[in-house]
Amino acid sequence: MDKRWMDLPRHTSEYIQGVNEFIQYAFTHSAKENTILCPCKKCVNGCWKEASEIYVHLICDGFLDGYKTWIFHVEASSSFAQYGEAPASFPEQTLMRL
């Protein structure tokens, strides 16, 4: 996945579109009910938030520095794929192994 947009200023349409794609991606792969972990600088993947909040956080605060591989949102997760099911019980147990 192309993440060059993550380095762009947050008012650019590329960044905003990227945030939308991230949210879509994260909800597809790592949603818990209607929330995902917020990867913004303030929440640092520590808070479960709805899409509208994530969107605001990522536009206002931006992504956590260096969060280019979305491990909290199950990207490129060959290690997760082995378990053969949606990461419903993720994050606690699984993250301990990362």
Which stretches of the chain bind Zn ion, using CB under 5 A? 38, 40, 43, 57
| Phi, psi of 17, deg, nearest 5 | -65, -40
CB 62 within 8 A of CB 7: no
Of the pair 35, 94, the CB lying nearest Zn ion is at 35
Of the pair 23, 40, the CB lying nearest Zn ion is at 40
| Phi, psi of 75, deg, nearest 5 | -100, 145
- Gap between the Cα atoms of 97 and 37, Å rounded: 18
Of the pair 36, 43, the CB lying nearest Zn ion is at 43
CB of 45 to Zn ion, least distance (A): 9
Of the pair 57, 73, the CB lying nearest Zn ion is at 57
Rg over alpha carbons for the chain, rounded to the nearest Å, is 13
CB of 66 to Zn ion, least distance (A): 16
CB of 56 to Zn ion, least distance (A): 8
SS3 37: strand
CB of 52 to Zn ion, least distance (A): 12
